Amino acid sequence: PVTTPTTIQQQVLTGTGENNAAIICRGTVVAWVWNGVWSCNIELDSGLNVLSFTARDAAGNESAATSVEIFFDDIPPGPVSIVAQEEGRGTQMELSWTNYDELDNGGDIDHYIVYQAEQPFDNIAQATAILTNAAGWQRCVVTGLVRGTTSHYAAVAFDEAQFAGFQGSRPGDDLPDNI
């Protein structure tokens, strides 16, 4: 079994086979079978990696290929720009980021988290997560606002590997200055 997607570029792959067989991947011997098992380290390229393995015995017979797909995600989504539109009597507001292109930002957006704070913030640790939207849902309505007070918001995209849409970081790291 493999983990996919992964944010770890070096993957350890294992399998079983006939003793003394050479395990071949990408045209190179990557391991030898000892006591019926083999193990090798494979360095993944960014994006989808389709790895085909064959076993070659001492007589030169080569097995049919066994393939595995691993997606190496080393690209965080881009920052999200939100638009705020006051609704009703000033006690609710629609936040929208429908101009955010999920495909252009890696094509693997998993969800968005919207953060709120009373003061401007440049780190999500300084704000409160108020809701989570699944990929494709690029708007929300914030309710229960108090008229005459100011709140600050940020929507952050997270991809399937849980990279966040700000500087390739994870929750707790710095956000861009233009919140």
Tens of pLDDT, residues 14-54: 999 999 999 999 999 999 999 999 999 999 998 899 999 99
- The reported pLDDT for the residue numbered 90 is 83
Q: Which two tokens stand for residue 103?
A: 């495909």
pTM of the shown model: 0.63
- The reported pLDDT for the residue numbered 166 is 57
Residue recorded with tokens 């980021």: 97
* Pairing between β-strand 22-25 and β-strand 47-56 as defined by DSSP bridges: antiparallel
Per-residue burial over 96-120, b = 16 or more CB atoms within 10 Å of its CB, e = otherwise: bbeebebeebbebbbbbbbbbbeee
Q: What is the pLDDT of residues 51-86, one digit of tens each?
A: 999 999 999 999 999 999 999 988 888 899 999 998
Q: Mean per-residue pLDDT for 99-118? A: 90
